[in-house]
Chains A and B, each alone.
Chain A
Amino acid sequence: MELIYLDHAATTPIRSEVMEAMLPYLTDKFGNASSIYGWGRQARKALDDARASVAEIIGADFNEIVFTSSGTESDNMAIKGAAWEYRNKGRHIITSSIEHPGVLNTMKSLEKEGYEVTYLPVNAQGLICVDDFKQALRDDTILVSIMHANNEVGTIQPIAAIGQIAHEHGIIMHTDAVQTAGALEVDVNELNVDLLSFSAHKFYGPKGVGALYIRKGIRLVPLIHGGNQERRRRAGTENTAGIVGLAAALELADKERPEFTGKMIHLRDKLIDGILKIPHTRLNGSRTQRLPNNVSVCFEFIEGESLLLNLDMQGIAGSSGSACTSGSLEPSHVLLALGLKHEIAHGSLRLTLGKDNTEAEIDYVLKALEPIVHRLREMSPLYHS
């Protein structure tokens, strides 16, 4: 059976070039970057090169990059670090209602500490309205955290505009760029951000390694205290191989983006158009402000988990925001924030493309999907054909 992986927003495989770049640091070049002898210097050099390369790609300076254990840690470090550092300036934070749990649950924890958080709504396409943002600003607002693009519905937010307004008010701007780093051109100055999170495993790098851009002059209370690594901003012996992998993967993504983006958009639109031919089906998110690899739809009258199981039986890997797949038995907060009713969110399907997906695979998926949806609808008490 053909196996078709269409869940690249969840994670991606490590590219062979990336694996090759990492391997020496898992074997011969095992030194601790803090050591003075050859092995140590070797590791230090690898970290320096990785940092320089990552910094250049996102338009930052060498000292503005901190490596972390994940996108989630970067989000926590940016938000808690800034909230704690600047708590005497104010206790108000602005975010959106469709953030990743790495941001949302960090906000919840700060609320328990007495911070006030405004969760901006989004429109039916998943877009934040810049006027709503302006309305939410207060004298005691110290931090804004809005994701660059959403992981479920793929909507790309007007970060540059929001960042500019935040800066006019002297407010720190963070963005979770976990879904966009590698996929879009990400430049911290063009985006007007002070803090930016990303994670290697979303762009063909290893899992368990991320980075946070911290603009010069911004101070953060560290989450992890210990040795002097990462200029005391994040203690713990560096994950040399992981960091080398992150940098190698970002370099490749950056270099190959022009080649892959067009192809991906073509396949994405083919998939969207094909799926929308099935009656009672709707696209989630924006048609234009959309990640090149994201397809998110809802099929009325059916439930997402049974859809995913059927797709899996045909070798197709996707994901859903249905309550039945969530673990919490709540439908996706993102789909609800877009204004979808529970029973519509129930029938959601997300397919996210990668650089190696082919036209033939998309044809196969479209062919497989129709009969599955039809069969599940025939089984549904809500559907009357």
Chain B
Amino acid sequence: MYSNKVMDHFQNPRNVGEIVDADGIGEIGNPRCGDIMKLWIKVENGYIVDAKFKTFGCGAAIATSSIITELVIGKTIEEAEQISDQAVVEALDGLPPLKMHCSNLAAGALKKAIADYRNKQNVS
């Protein structure tokens, strides 16, 4: 039911873990099934230089978490902000219809991490 790309990211998830001195942290729960994702980003000169995640969820949730870290690393905050649920799904060569909502997790956590980063910038 899952594409090879999904299975690859599920079996060998990229960038699992936490960033101790992260510049932005986003945590989001999936209201549909109760899964949770947490994303840490490190930002230098407006560029996301590192991203790590932890996810409590299904195969699709883990794969979307993994691929979004790949998608954001090297992008500017403004570019990363443009990444949609759809872009995450496409990067994984699609998801089964019942699993489309799982991609919200990754895109949502990213938006929150960016908002958190901006908040911290404004404060300091």
Contact = CB atoms under 8 A, between A and B. Distances in A.
Interface stretch (B30-38, B76-84, B85-93): B30-38
Interface in B7-30: 7, 10-11, 13, 16, 27
Contacts of B33: 323-324, 329
Contacts of A302: 56
B11 A313 contact: yes
A302 B35 CA distance: 10
A382 B36 contact: yes
A327 B33 CA distance: 10
B56 A381 contact: yes
A229 interface: no
Interface residues of A, number: 22
A381 B37 CA distance: 7
Contacts of B36: 381-382
A301 interface: yes
Contacts, number: 59
Contact of A323 (B7, B13, B34): B34
A342 B34 contact: yes
Given A309-B10, A313-B11, A381-B27, A327 B98 contact: yes
B51 to A, nearest CB: 14
Contacts of A331: 34
A364 to B, nearest CB: 19
Interface residues of B, number: 23
State the main secondary structure of chain A at its contact with B: loop
Given A309-B10, A378-B16, A329 B57 contact: no
Contact of B34 (A306, A313, A346): A346
A306 B37 contact: no
B59 interface: yes
Given A378-B16, A381-B27, A309 B59 contact: yes
Contacts of A325: 58
Contacts of B13: 379
B64 interface: no
A336 to B, nearest CB: 12
Contacts of B104: none
A343 B34 CA distance: 7
A123 interface: no
A303 B38 CA distance: 15
Interface string A252-294: 0000000000000000000000000000000000000000000
B55 A381 contact: yes
A313 B54 CA distance: 21
Contacts of B7: 309
B30 to A, nearest CB: 9
Nearest to B54: A381
A88 B102 CA distance: 50
B62 interface: yes
Given A303-B35, A381-B36, A381-B56, 8 more contacts: A305-B59, A306-B61, A309-B10, A323-B34, A324-B61, A379-B16, A380-B54, A381-B38
Interface of A: 301-303, 305-306, 309, 313, 322-325, 327, 329, 331, 342-343, 346, 378-382
